[in-house]
Structure 1
Amino acid sequence: MLSTGTALLFVRVDEPKTTKNRWHVDLQPQDRTRDEEVERLLALGATLHEDHRRPDGEGWATLWDPEGNEVCVERSAGER
């Protein structure tokens, strides 16, 4: 059965990051909250770079993957 979703493949490279990201990924979790997704990514080796989450539930978190690439985690559809 073919998936109807989008897939991304991430490959570890030997060279260090030397410039700003050439593209930027925003994630919107589908089966968990934004904060649950942030915790999951941190457990997988990401680092919290900037935390723009607000007490009222708005905002996002910017993380770095182990190679230093940035990814933002937005609120899930259920949290909007």
Structure 2
Amino acid sequence: MVSVLQNVAIDCADAYELARFWSGVTGRPLHPDDRPGDPEIQVMLAEGPMLHFNQVPEPKTSKNRLHLCLRPDTSRDEEAARLQDLGASFVADHRNPDGTGWVILADPEGNEFCVLRSEAERRR
């Protein structure tokens, strides 16, 4: 017997608005039944588990123990800039002079995530 990963759940203050941000990040739609004000919203990813946003009353208080890592189809730096334009904030720079490394950003509610190098950048 095994378990199948159904979704990645993210606690948040405003499920709809945070799901809209992540919909913009991934380019994937919200679940068609989800509406503003719903306490649970899902982003329908093309493959793998869904992103599931749970509205909770308590605020985020410390560093994430689990986070998402994104591999863009453009360059890491172009994607980091695009995501900041969507509302992400810069947290830390782990880029190296040789082009390796990653950037840590936070979504509008402070959940950290990494932007990795694209596959093309990794082949260089």
Q: With the length of structure 1 as denominator, give the TM-score of the two structures.
A: 0.78
Q: Give the number of the structure whose alpha-carbon radius of gyration is greater.
A: 2
- Equivalence for 2:120: 78
Q: For CA contacts below 8 A with separation 6 or more, give which structure has more relative contact order.
A: 1
- Equivalence for 1:8: 51
**Aligned counterparts, 1:1-80, within 5 A:** 5-6=47-48, 7-10=50-53, 15-29=58-72, 31-80=73-122
**Quick one: which amino acid aligns to residue 8 of structure 1?**
L
8 Å CA contact retained: 2:104, 2:112 = yes
Higher helix share: 2
- Equivalence for 2:8: none
Cα root mean square deviation, aligned: 2.2
**Aligned-residue identity in percent:** 57
Partner of 1:71, secondary structure, is: strand
Give the paired residue count.
77
**Offset of 1:20 from its aligned partner?**
3.0
**Quick one: which amino acid aligns to residue 83 of structure 2?**
L
Gaps of 5+ in 1: none
8 Å CA contact retained: 2:63, 2:112 = no
Would you identify which runs of 4 or more consecutive aligned residues in structure 1 move more than 4 Å?
Answer: 9-15
